[in-house]
Amino acid sequence: MTNHWIDIKNSDCILIMGSNAAENHPVSFKYVNLAREAGATLLSVDPRFTRTSAKADFYAPLRSGTDIAFLGGMIKHILDEGLFHEEYVAQYTNAPFLVNKDYRFKDGLFSGYDPEKRAYDKSAWAFQMDENGVPKMDRSLKDRNCVFQLLKKHYKRYDTKTVSKITGTPEDKLEECYRLYAATGQPGKAGTIMYAMGWTQHTVGVQNIRTMAIIQLLLGNMGVAGGGVNALRGESNVQGSTDHCLLWHIWPGYLKIPQASKPTLALYNESATPRSSDPLSANWWQNYPKYSVSLLKSFFGEKATPENDFGYSWLPKVDDGKTYSWLDLFDEMYKGNFKGFFAWGQNPACSGANSGKTRNALGKLDWMVNVNLFDNETGSFWHGPGMNPTMIKTEVFMLPACVSVEKEGSITNSGRWMQWRYQGPKPLGNSRGDGDIILELGHKIKEAYADGGVFPTPILNLKWDYATKGAYDPHKVAKEINGYFLKDVEVKGKTYSKGTLVPSFAFLQADGSTSSGNWLYCNSYTEKGNMAARRSDKDAANGIGLYPEFSWCWPVNRRIIYNRASVDLKGNPWDKKDWVIRWTGSGWEGDVPDGGWPPLKSTDGILNPKSKYPFIMRKHGHGQIFGPGRADGPFPEHYEPLESPVEKNYLNDQMLNPVAPVYGTEADAFASCDPRYPYVGTTYRVSEHWQTGLMTRWQPYLLELQPQVFVEMSEELARLKGIQNGERVKVSSARGSLECTAIVTKRFKPFTIAGATVHQVGIPWHYGWRWPQDTVEESANLLTPSTGDPNTRIPETKAFMVNVTKI
């Protein structure tokens, strides 16, 4: 979230699309209700009428996988009707930037496409530079090569008639939704988006979010209270685990993973550090080497020296152009290229897309360690449905982990709040906290390499001192993440002594004199104490619910990021009532500002050369309507899912996202426009269960509420198939099938797509064969395909094709 949970209450219009917040983020509705009490409008757009829709002022259906068409239509509406926030767009976004004249979009492809590699050469997606190396701009937005004009041209095709033909949303519903949401383009009004996996889990996942980001920039909704782009995270600490580099493509704090082509630290830092020649651009990432070197110092302590590149060469590098995502790992495992696997706090046999492939992949291992609260479908895969235990060589070890309340530590919620939690009861039996397990594992691996090995240096040099009296100490880890001064360091005339905690990332150094396990978290645990453990209910001066002394928030306790876009050029808030920051004449008050520089203009309207543009994390300081960094194009474009019910993309000549990954084993079958699988399928969660159900299916109270996997379908489809409400039916895809209880409901309606009737069904993915035992309730992921977003490789589990048959 650019904003945070409580801030939802400040919104004037809340769009819930790509998520089902009432069901899956129930507490968020406390703030949704507060906003509505104050007069906000709640919009729900979803293939199915959900518990969220039940509370909304407006509901519109759309076919799964057509969000860009829907939102592209909104961009066109905003531009056609002139509803954008003109000053904001012209001054704070890259709408005025002139794009390279070679940039083209034709037949669904952007310039530079290589069909063999299924990849783009992005060199034409660049900005024109002036003689000083600063992007050329036309703040009047009239130049035919400026981003604003290219945006207009790109979305000209997205008229409501065409959009409706694709999404199945009636045209009048599209218009009403556009009108209601675009009203927040008025200065002082704020619209927010609450989205989740309904947007990310597609072959166009990143571009779904990009489309909304463009809308938010056009309407001036970034940086303001009640605005922002807000991802509702699916687990309490997903934000934290992402920040600390759970994913393969980053290091902690969103630093880049090193590539084989960058063998030295200098080359790595050089390639990762953006350069801007614009004196008004803060270009915050210019500090990159301070963060990367401080991270290496945190990894290797005294062993990391300038002479050995701070241990950079000891770390693994990824091959250039190769991806190592979940889909790739299980593809390699399926092909027999892995020996061992730690399934840690996860249940891939049910959670991974194309779970049948995943389960077979587990059988190709020599060993697997399952670290979890209970045995699950992953640990027990070898005696699951369709498996022959005598044919499986994989040796499975179970390490019982304790639950979150039995250990001390922090979680970081969707709103970027790092919240410290104390230990409740002690762990049961032999179960242990993850920290204890990892710490001991590290010691054992170090022991194993003490007498040599293939490449023992990084393991032996790893700093591994996080125990107190032999037990894992979460405070030591939290302090390490914050970072220390490793020498006496003088900053701006003040000396900070060796061994003390760094006050904030502005103090980190690239010479090895500081450490920080994650620069974004530098300021979270300082000499003033554990900031995340704070629990004050005092609000900030603006009274908008920031509660700056309750827990701690990255970066540097800034509760709403890009908040310098919430004010005009002179530092006066667009919204006088729910203001985030404002210029007092000598400084900012309210939230922690995005840098303390003065406003762009003084009160008499003169440009202040000491100021900086508000989007400080972007190289050129402007919000990116044109986004040249993505794998699949600088503007979002509608492509059909890998499996689609239509034979034609009505917006361009490409069916599938031209750079979406496609996997090639026999387990990766797919069937688009295939009469054997005529219905659109999607997956989702319900309030009563969580993820694969590992923690909820074993709870009798929750099983009482939702005892069985079900498939929801319209009354029309049920009639067509002769299916009765409550009857068990079979749902199948090109990859697998499962038995479900039919819920025949008015909440699903058939879509009219290009004149034809298209049915959609949906299945929750909370179930698995392991429990409950007296019935076979299986995972919906047996149906889902192995493809995903080309930027993130998140799987496309929200739109695929199925059949439903009577048993």
Partner 1 sequence: MSKSFLIDTTVCTGCRACQVACKQWHNLPAEETKNVGSYQNPQDLSFNTYKLVRMNEEEIDGKLQWLFFPEQCRHCFDAPCEAAADYPAAIFTDSATGAVIYTANTKDLWEPSDVIGSCPYNIPRQGNRGDLAKCDMCLDRVQNGLLPACVKVCPTGALNFGDREDILKIADQRLQAAKKRFPQATMLDPDAVRVIYLVAYDPKLYHDYAVASAGALGMTRQMALRKMVRPIKSLGSRLL
Interface pick for partner 1 out of 30, 106, 139, 393 (rule CB under 8 A): 30
- CA distance readout (Å), 708 to 113, 434, 722, 764: 46, 31, 21, 10
Minimum Å distance from CB 576 to partner 1? Answer: 25
**Residues 77, 479, 689, 747: which binds partner 1 (CB under 8 A)?**
747
Nearer to partner 1, 165 or 759 (CB): 759
Q: Is 631 in the site for partner 1 (CB under 8 A)?
A: no
**Of 300-319, which residues contact partner 1 (CB under 8 A)?**
none
* In the complex, least distance from residue 171 CB atom to partner 1, rounded to whole angstroms: 18
Going residue by residue from 633 to 672, which x/- string records binding to partner 1, judged by CB under 8 A?
----------------------------------------
Q: Residue 793: which region, alpha, beta or left (left: phi > 0; alpha: psi -120 to 50)?
A: left
Instruction: Return phi, psi of residue 792, to 5°.
Output: -110, -20
**Alpha-carbon span 736 to 755, nearest angstrom:** 30
Q: What end-to-end distance do the CA atoms of the chain give, in Å?
A: 44
Where in 676-735 is the site for partner 1 (CB under 8 A)? 686-688, 700-708, 710, 724-727
22 binds partner 1 (CB under 8 A): yes
Q: Residue 201: how many CA atoms within 13 Å on its side-chain side?
A: 25
Cβ nearer to partner 1, comparing 177 with 561: 177
Single out the residue of 57, 114, 172, 488 in contact with partner 1 (rule: CB under 8 A).
57
Tell me whether residue 462 or residue 686 sits nearer to partner 1 (CB atom): 686
User: Is the Cβ–Cβ distance between 531 and 552 less than 8 Å?
Assistant: yes
23 touching partner 1, by CB under 8 A: yes
Is 40 a binder of partner 1 (CB under 8 A)? Answer: no
Q: Which is nearer to partner 1, 580 or 744 (CB)?
A: 744
Q: Which stretch binds partner 1 (CB under 8 A): 268-276, 311-319, 573-581, 743-751?
A: 743-751
Residue whose C-alpha is closest to residue 584's, from 537, 542, 539, 538:
542
What is the CA 163 to chain-centroid distance, rounded?
26
Residue showing tokens 């498939």: 711
Question: Whole-number minimum distance, CB 791 to partner 1, in Å?
Answer: 33
For partner 1, give the closer residue by CB, 51 or 601. 51
- The Cα 256–Cα 253 span in angstroms is 9
Window of 18-26, 580-588, 615-623, 675-683 that interacts with partner 1 by CB under 8 A: 18-26
DSSP 218: H
Instruction: Give 567 or 731: the residue with its C-beta nearer to partner 1.
Output: 731
DSSP 252: G
Residue from 116, 746, 755, 807 in contact with partner 1 (CB under 8 A): 746
- Residue 81: how many other CB atoms lie within 10 Å: 12
With contact defined as beta carbons under 8 Å apart, do 94 and 565 qualify? no
Q: What is the DSSP letter of 484?
A: B
Residue type, 256: K
**Residue 800 DSSP SS3:** strand
Minimum CB separation of residue 591 from partner 1 in Å reads 26
Among 501, 531, 559, 486, residue whose Cα is nearest residue 223 = 559
Question: In this structure, are residues 593 and 561 in contact, taking their beta carbons and an 8 Å threshold?
Answer: no
Find the binder of partner 1 among 3, 53, 269, 682 (CB under 8 A): 53
CB 766, min distance to partner 1, A: 12
* Stretch near partner 1 under the rule CB under 8 A, chosen from 23-31, 251-259, 359-367, 635-643: 23-31
CA distances from 378 to 347, 397, 629, 707 (A): 6, 11, 37, 21
Q: How far apart are CA 122 and CA 128, in angstroms?
A: 14
- C-beta closer to partner 1: residue 88 or 195: 195
Q: Which is nearer to partner 1, 49 or 248 (by Cβ)?
A: 49
Closer residue to partner 1 in complex, CB, 473/727 = 727
Q: Which is nearer to partner 1, 394 or 745 (CB)?
A: 745
- List, in order, residues 6 or more apart from 37 with CB less than 8 Å away: none
Distance of closest approach, residue 424 Cβ to partner 1, in angstroms: 16
Structure token pair of residue 170: 């009636």
Is the omega angle on the peptide bond into residue 772 within 30 degrees of 0, that is, cis?
yes
Task: List interacting residues with partner 1 (CB under 8 A).
Answer: 22-23, 26-27, 29-30, 33, 37, 49, 51-55, 57, 59, 686-688, 700-708, 710, 724-727, 741-747
